[in-house]
A and B are shown apart, each in its own frame.
Chain A
């Protein structure tokens, strides 16, 4: 499938049906982000609350059992920051 912003009206299916299952995963919601979450491992108690609350399922578990955001999907909403009980996550301005 073409990228959405290159599709013409002739590329659309009947009823604008999307035939490729799960292709929402290609959508880069990370483009919306102006702030990014950063984790402080010293404060993190590995409870997984941030992982559960992220509305985009953008948080994954690292090999050492801490958590990080996949910046392709993380939209910088700050919900993880709000929900973390130990205050281990903070939002920082995106530089560019």
Chain B
């Protein structure tokens, strides 16, 4: 049994990358992702990881280099946050269209302006439609596990897609937690060497990233969409395999105390931890409340989501990004649309909370629960409310 060691979550994340024995890392430091790349560059400098560490002059270059190394057949990792993701966005979309199985940790941070380095999900929502597999971890152990499994999923020949592991900045990245680090032997059994389907090889020339005229572009998009959707059963299969190996099982949608719950909170990422504490207290107080955590954001796990919604009357969605002038936060919009075809769907109350590092404590969940009950009772559940804003 490997032992749990107290370490900063960023260090745990870099341990997963080291154990995955990546061949290439290209990254540009940005708060709060910095400790991950710093630690990885130390591994490479100390000879603990036999990889090319390519320091670049921007995130646009980081993702461009990653596309190149991945296309050449190298297991490739990068990580970024916020403005860095915004700068590399052009190439993020290209990586998925070219089906380059890059693994990226996104240390979630709000987008400017105003300039802020703190945590929310505005950065990941910028690239919601980028075609990457996008998953959220709730604590340090999950980040370690999801990152290791991400390589296997991304490189599986039934998938071959880039994988983004979302990790809340500061709340996770800078916090010391007990993390169980697997040994190399176990990892090697789980994660085979990267065997690309196609790679840049002078002896077998191929064209990657070709131009598509209007007579083919639509087919390429359909293909990309089908590939991403088809990754879902493989993700489940590999997470199951990882669970059999470690005892830690991951699912696209996870619930906590959902049995008999009339109302469920919906969270993504580290907010799930606080929400479960809040659920514990409210349950003790006799409220029929539970929690539903969306772990896999893309491809969206509709079946698992619908299953989790059976018998639920109300949903309280905690969004961590705003869609200015739109129908609600991105998560609630998605949830409402997913519920549209369901018979007797639960009512949805959307709160935008925890923007740019503003704390959402267990008491705040209780307050949102109360407010949601009021709104449901009054029949006013349209749109969204920015929780805790000073009026």
Contacts and interface: CB of A to CB of B under 8 A. Distances in A.
Interface of A: 4-5, 7-19, 21
Interface string B193-215: 00001100000011110101101
5 interchain residue pairs of minimum CB distance: A15-B99, A18-B207, A9-B222, A9-B223, A9-B219
Contact of B220 (A5, A9, A19, A21): A9
Contacts of A14: 99, 160, 197-198, 227
Contacts of B97: 15-16
A19 B198 contact: yes
A5 B205 CA distance: 24
A15 B198 contact: yes
Contacts of B207: 17-18, 21
A11 B226 CA distance: 13
Given A16-B97, A16-B220, A21-B206, 18 more contacts: A8-B219, A9-B220, A9-B226, A11-B219, A13-B198, A14-B99, A14-B160, A14-B227, A15-B99, A15-B100, A16-B210, A16-B223, A17-B198, A17-B208, A18-B207, A19-B206, A21-B205, A21-B207
Contacts of B208: 15, 17
Nearest to A4: B216
Given A4-B213, A13-B198, A18 B219 contact: no
24 contacts: A4-B215, A5-B216, A7-B219, A9-B219, A9-B220, A9-B223, A9-B226, A10-B223, A12-B220, A12-B223, A14-B99, A14-B160, A14-B198, A14-B227, A15-B99, A16-B97, A16-B210, A16-B212, A16-B223, A17-B206, A17-B208, A18-B206, A19-B206, A21-B207
Taking each of A5, A7, A14, which has the highest tally of chain B beta carbons within 10 Å of its own beta carbon? A14
A18 B210 CA distance: 8
A22 to B, nearest CB: 8
Given A4-B215, A4-B216, A7-B216, A16 B205 contact: no
A13 to B, nearest CB: 7
B376 interface: no
Given A4-B215, A9-B222, A15 B98 contact: yes
B206 A5 contact: no
Contacts of B226: 9
Nearest to A18: B207
A2 to B, nearest CB: 11
A17 B206 CA distance: 7
Nearest to A22: B205
A7 B212 CA distance: 12
A25 to B, nearest CB: 12
Given A14-B99, A15-B98, A19-B206, A5 B198 contact: no
A33 B256 CA distance: 65
